[in-house]
A and B are shown apart, each in its own frame.
Chain A
Amino acid sequence: MSKLKTQEFMVNMGPHHPSTHGVCRLMLTLDGEKVVKIVPVIGYLHRAIEKICENRTYAQCIPLLDRFEYVTSMSCEYVFADAVEKLAAIEVPERAQYLRVIMLELNRIASHLIFFGTTVMDIGALTPFLYGLRERELIMDLFEMTCGQRLTYNYITIGGVSHDIPPEFIPKCREAVKIIREKLKDYEGLFNENPIWLARTKNIGVLSAETAVAYGVSGPILRASGIKYDIRKNEPYGIYDRFDFNIPTYTHGDAYDRYMVRLDEIRESLKIITQALDGLPEGDIRKKVNPFTFKPPAGEIYNRIENSRGEMGVYLVSDGTTKPTRLKLRGGSYNHLQVLPHVAVGGLVADLVAIFATFDIIMPEVDR
């Protein structure tokens, strides 16, 4: 028996692995089932969005930015449009502000529903994925009704929004809010106290608050680690200071808390949508901006918002022409992927999958 040797071996998890959500490649060193080392390899989805934007007018940048983080395209549009508006000191009409908030929050819910579906699927429950997508479908229908698109909207434009909502939007939206609120109870009934689910997520992939801050982690992952930080509250942008909502925060920073934070956030977003629908004023939806000749004054700005995956930022340099001189995007997932080895080393392969899923990393945001 003394002749028997054990050996660590390397596995390439991805770029075509079912649980890496896109084209992330993790070079794993495994000791049996135990993960010894993780090296993320990125760049498979690099499309040079930042560089291409330098050759586009400001209005033409927005459809490209839709692809920056395609699960919550509205946020990408908003963060850019807001930056340009701040730079050019454009006053956005009140109705457009409200519509933006409604769309942003609907999109956040859609993103969290995808998170719910894919996470439980990665942990082995195949059916709830379809449930998550079923509720997301209601939101997609609302978007389609408004701007004709279901995934990349080109809705939030510089100076306002591109289309007004149709008259049936408000009743449909209220109904969707009601249905999602009902169905959330089903999700929680399925998982929150399910012993298998608890065994798979409790105390798995614990991310301490110090590490989270050190790596620049943001969004729901940061809040799951016990830091109450949400740009919507801490540095309100748009009209977020008018709404009453809470920031769900948990303390352990494990996979279970990251899951719970997002489910709670869906509730908070529903609250915001209801308030925004109630307060929706009449009026213009757009301040006229000529998309071909629009020139913001020379200057630079960093604008950031709270996306469903964390802080989304855009750094914009303008030299007073019709095209941006430099555009730099910041996506939360980039930092989250960096902290992944820190959290998942020492666990099992199955834990790595659970951690990757609850980090909710999306690759276009990493590779851009």
Chain B
Amino acid sequence: MILASVELIGVFRWLYGLLVELGLEEPWLSVVIYGLLSVTIFGVLCLIALFLVWWERKIAGHMQQRFGPMRNGWHGWYQTVMDALKLLQKEDIRVDTRDRAVFFWAPVICFVAAFLAYIVIPFGDGLIVADLNIGILYVIAITTFTVISLLMAGWGSNNKYALLGGMRSAAQVVSYEVPMVASILTVIVFSGSLSMVDISNSQQGNFIFNWFIFRPPFGIIAFLTYITAATAEANRTPFDIPEAEQELVAGYNIEYSGMKFAMFFLAEFVNMFTVSAIATTLFLGGWHGPLLPSWLWFIIKTLAIVLLLMIFRWTFPRLRVDQLMEFAWKFLVPLTFANLILAGWMKYAGWYW
């Protein structure tokens, strides 16, 4: 049975039983179940993205001695919902000189790529769509897709600022992919598996001290380098040069309006959540933790990292494009590789528990 590899949580298991009882057979059974799963994941992530936009605005507001959104509901809780509705109604302005196909597909690819990674992210004990045995590799491959969409947006808009933004993001994301993967590899050395579930499980027990972040010094170094690279991957300050407002006005999405812009915007926040969720899985023990239910642990840890990224954004100035490259290639790459090699050697020598 195809579904054997899929961990189904309560409601889906119940639904699965119901469908079998109703006499639904393969392949339709799988189609219905997977369809429902994708819709659920998509809905949850849209909610998370909307929440993150609101949260970011609140945090920015409070850091800046103001309130942030206050009008819609308690502390403006449905402000972003209204914003999204507004963007839906807006006219879709398209430049005449655009590259039609490229301009159209760029936000779609960006949006889809942002959501695809969630197939292998374990939100809790058994809360995973598909536990691929190459899980983390799949995530790395899929998240890199985003850069194609940014390049496409930059090129398709036929705007110089957008082109500069697209080129910058391509250079940046490709550069930071290297240290990011090297720091992820350190974790893979620890756990001996690429599967997200296995990685989480190998950090189980011993209160919280089995988390990979508590394996000095390599775990901590890998975590810090991963967070740095992830900030760059998610295009956030101090590495937000692709959309540096004061230099490029808006960067690659300058010509986009209405829902197409909203797709870029939401994808950005979903990406931020993705990198934080991966950090949680790899370094902070995934869903494992004492007392609280597993999914709550996962959300708490992920939001903690998201909070860290938000505080970064509202505190630091922005690096220059060449300094950014220098930082990646001359500092992060050697550091992460040295870290990886030493961690592998320690593991081989059996000095790690």
List the one stretch of B26-34, B140-148, B314-322 in contact with chain A: B314-322
Residue B245 at the A interface, CB < 8 A?
Answer: yes
A120 to B249, CA, bound (A): 16
Minimum CB distance partner of A17 in chain B: B249
Name B160's contact: one of A11, A121, A125 (CB within 8 Å): A11
The answer to whether B317 and A351 touch across the interface, beta carbons within 8 angstroms, is no
Check if A353 sits within 8 Å of B247, measured CB to CB.
Answer: yes
Known: A33-B321, A200-B320, A349-B247. A11 touches B238 (CB 8 A): no
Known contacts A124-B238, A124-B246, A125-B315; is-contact A350 B60 (Cβ 8 Å): no
Residues of A within 8 A of B249 (CB): 17-18
Residues from chain A with a CB closer than 8 A to the CB of B66 are: 130
By size class, the interface of chain B is 20 to 34
Q: At the interface, yes or no: B64 with Cβ under 8 Å from chain A?
A: yes
B319 / chain A contacts, CB cutoff of 8 Å: 124, 196, 199-200
Nearest CB on B from A259, distance (A): 12
Q: Is A342 on the interface with B (CB-CB < 8 A)?
A: no
**Contact across chains for A200 and B317 when beta carbons are under 8 A apart:** yes
Least CB distance from B326 to A in Å reads: 9
Flag if A9 contacts B314 (CB, 8 Å). no
Tell me the bound Cα distance from A349 to B317 in angstroms.
Answer: 16
How many residues on the A side are at the interface (Cβ–Cβ under 8 A)?
31
Please list 14 pairs of residues, one from A and one from B, whose beta carbons are closer than 8 Å in the complex, sorted by A's number: A11-B161, A18-B246, A121-B246, A124-B238, A124-B316, A126-B60, A127-B64, A130-B65, A131-B65, A190-B315, A194-B316, A199-B323, A349-B164, A350-B247
Please report which residues of chain A, range 184-212, place their CB below 8 angstroms from some CB of chain B when the two chains form the complex: 190-191, 194, 196-197, 199-200
Beyond A124-B246, A127-B314, 19 additional contacts (C-beta under 8 Å) are: A18-B249, A124-B317, A125-B237, A125-B315, A126-B60, A126-B237, A126-B313, A127-B315, A134-B65, A191-B317, A200-B320, A200-B323, A349-B248, A350-B241, A350-B244, A350-B318, A350-B320, A350-B321, A353-B247
Closest to B323 in A: A199
For A122, the chain B residues whose CB sits under 8 A away are 246
Would you give the shortest CB distance from B254 to chain A, in whole angstroms?
12
Contacts of B70 in A (CB 8 A): none
Q: Is A303 an interface residue (CB 8 A)?
A: no
Contact present for B321 and A18 (CB under 8 Å): no
CB of B240 within 8 Å of the partner chain: yes
Q: How far apart are the CA atoms of A126 and B248 in the complex, in Å?
A: 16
In the complex, what residues of B have CB within 8 A of residue A200's CB?
317-320, 323
In the complex, B220 has a CB within 8 A of chain A: no
B342 contacts the other chain (CB 8 A): no
B63 at the interface (CB under 8 A from A): yes
Say yes or no: A196 contacts B314, CB within 8 Å.
Answer: no
**Nearest-CB distance from B237 to chain A (Å)?**
6
A: residues with CB less than 8 A from B are: 9, 11, 17-19, 32-33, 120-127, 129-131, 134, 190-191, 194, 196-197, 199-200, 348-351, 353
B317–A120 CB distance below 8 A: yes
Contact with A along B38-76 (1 / 0, CB 8 A): 000000000000000000000010011110000000000
> Which residues on B sit within 8 Å (CB–CB) of A125?
237, 315-318
Residues of B220-256 whose CB lies within 8 A of A: 237-238, 240-241, 244-249
Report whether B321 and A123 are in contact in the complex, using a CB–CB cutoff of 8 Å.
no
Query: Are B63 and A348 in contact, with the CB atoms below 8 A?
Result: no
User: Nearest-CB distance from B42 to chain A (Å)?
Assistant: 31
Instruction: Write out the residue numbers on chain A whose beta carbons fall within 8 Å of the beta carbon of B320.
Output: 199-200, 348, 350-351
Cα–Cα, bound, A168→B236 (Å): 46
* Chain A residues with CB below 8 A from B160, complex form: 9, 11
| B-side contacts of A194, CB under 8 Å | 316-317
**A351–B247 Cα gap in the complex (Å)?**
9
A122 to B249, CA, bound (A): 11
Contact in complex: A348, B317 (CB < 8 Å): no
Chain A nearest CB: distance from B333 CB in Å? 18
CB-CB under 8 A from B60, the residues of chain A are 126-127
> In the docked arrangement, what's the CA distance between A131 and B319, Å?
21
With a cutoff of 8 Å between Cβ atoms, the chain B residues found around residue A131 in the complex are 64-65
Which residue of chain A has its CB nearest to the CB of B313?
A126
8 smallest CB-CB distances across A and B, nearest first, come from A124-B318, A130-B64, A19-B246, A125-B317, A124-B317, A350-B320, A123-B317, A122-B246
A196 to B317, CA, bound (A): 7
Decide yes or no: A353 and B323 within 8 Å by CB, A125-B317, A127-B314 being known contacts.
no
Shortest distance from the beta carbon of B132 to any chain A beta carbon, whole Å: 38
Residues of A within 8 A of B313 (CB): 126
The reply to whether A19 and B247 contact each other, CB–CB distance below 8 Å, is yes
In this complex, what residue of A is CB-closest to B159? A11
Identify which of B168, B240, B315, B317 gathers the most chain A CB atoms within 10 Å of its CB: B317
Complex Cα gap A123–B317 (Å): 6
B240: chain A residues within 8 A (beta carbon): 124
Determine the distance from Cα of A19 to Cα of B244 in the docked complex, in whole angstroms. 11
In the complex, residue of chain B having the shortest beta-carbon distance to the beta carbon of A356: B246
Contacts of A191 in B (CB 8 A): 317
Cβ B63 vs Cβ A127 within 8 A: yes
